Every structure is written in C-alpha cells, then in structure tokens.
Amino acid sequence: MRRELCLCADIPSLTLATKLVLIAARRELQVPTNTGRLAAHALTNSVMLTRGDRDEPCDLAPHLPADGRVLLLYPAEDSIELTPAMRDGGPYTLVVPDGNWRQTSKMRRREPLLTHVQTVTLPAGDPSAYRVRRETKAQGLATIEAIARALGILEGEEVQAALEAVFALMVQRTMVSRGHNKQI
C-alpha cells in the first residue's frame, strides 16, 4: 500500500483470552490483500505459521495447549456452530487456516495435530464486505471477517467491531489505491 494510505497506525492492539493460531498457505502470504496477517497483527495473543514452506516446516505442537481447548474454524462436515454458551468452556486456542478454499481444505488432513480437533463454524450472517477480491462461495468470508465473527462470539462484540473496523479501512484504502474511490 502506498505510504499515505498505510493503515499500520490504525491497527488496534487487542489482548484476549483466546489465542489465535493462524496457519497461512505459503502462497497466500504473497498476496498483498491478505487479511489473516492483519488479524494477527491486531491480536497480541496470536501466532502466524506458514504451511507449505519447504525450508521451514509448520510445527503446531508448541502452539496447541495440552488441555484440549482447541477449536479449528473451518466449515467441515463434522463442525459444530459457535455459540456464546461456548465462552464458559474457554479460554480457547482458535486455529484458523488462511488461504483459498482448495488450500485450506487440505490443512486439516495434512496436519496430524488437527485431525482430532473440534471444527467449528460460524452462524449464518451478513455476506462478506470484502470488495477487494472475488469470493467463490456465497457464504465465504475474508479471513479477518471470519476471525472477527468467531471472536465476537467467544470474546465479545467490541472485539468483533474493532477487527471489522480495521478491515473496512483496509478495504477502503485498497480501493482508493486502485482508483475506485477517491475518499481516504
């Protein structure tokens, strides 16, 4: 992003009970409109791992608690819906795959530590506000939107609002950089 459009100073610093473990597909990290990285920067209790890097294998073990309070945010067939009642079972480690649908669908199978982790999905909600990239699935969300909604359920609406605000700013400034909207 051009320097005058940079949003680094606008990224909130959120300290939560929920730990975020973002597993990004190597190719996704090369995409300048990646939103998972933005979420990881905003959440002080987060770690971002790269999947598919031959020089540095992804090692989840140090980031998953032994007590089993791990949730994998992915709409798999065996997923249960996140609900506010789940707050009582926390704090959680929320594992979120970051990449396109094809890349993320393989992560659970390829990461042995995730094979027995409970998958969770989000309740139906508003469509994605991501105008920067085209979504191939009607229910698809940008990674930061999915994280914001999940943390809104597990941590509270103010967390969701803060992440959605920085996401909206990123979308708006990206559109400006592409000449689609002249407002800053």
Mean pLDDT across the chain, nearest whole number?
Answer: 85
Q: What is the mean pLDDT of residues 39-45?
A: 95
Residue 43 has pLDDT above 90, yes or no: yes
Residue 106 has pLDDT above 90, yes or no: no
Burial class (CB in 10 A: 0-12, 13-18, 19+), 31: middle
Residue with more model confidence, 47 or 51: 47
* Number of CB atoms found within 10 A of residue 100's CB: 14
Predicted local confidence at residue 110, as pLDDT:
81
Predicted local confidence at residue 132, as pLDDT:
63
Q: What is the mean pLDDT of residues 29-43?
A: 86
CA dist., res. 85 & res. 169, Å (int): 31
Q: What is the mean pLDDT of residues 56-71?
A: 86
In contact, 142 and 99? CB cutoff 8 Å:
no
Model pTM greater than 0.75?
yes
Burial class (CB in 10 A: 0-12, 13-18, 19+), 164: middle
In contact, 21 and 64? CB cutoff 8 Å:
yes
The identity of residue 5, as a single letter, is: L
The count of C-alpha atoms lying within 13 angstroms of the C-alpha of 94, restricted to the half-sphere facing its C-beta, is 35
The pLDDT tens digits of the residues spanning 107-150 come to: 887 888 888 899 999 999 887 776 665 656 656 788 999 999 99
Sorted by where each starts, the structural domains of the chain and their CATH numbers stand as 3-176 (3.40.1280)
H or E element, residue 95? strand 93-98
The identity of residue 155, as a single letter, is: E
Residue 38 has pLDDT above 70, yes or no: yes
Q: Which of 34-38, 84-88, 111-115, 152-156 has the highest mean pLDDT?
A: 152-156
Residue 71 has pLDDT above 90, yes or no: yes
CA dist., res. 155 & res. 86, Å (int): 10
**Confidence tier at 27 by pLDDT (50, 70, 90):** confident
The widest CA-to-CA distance across the chain, in whole angstroms, is 50
CA dist., res. 42 & res. 132, Å (int): 20
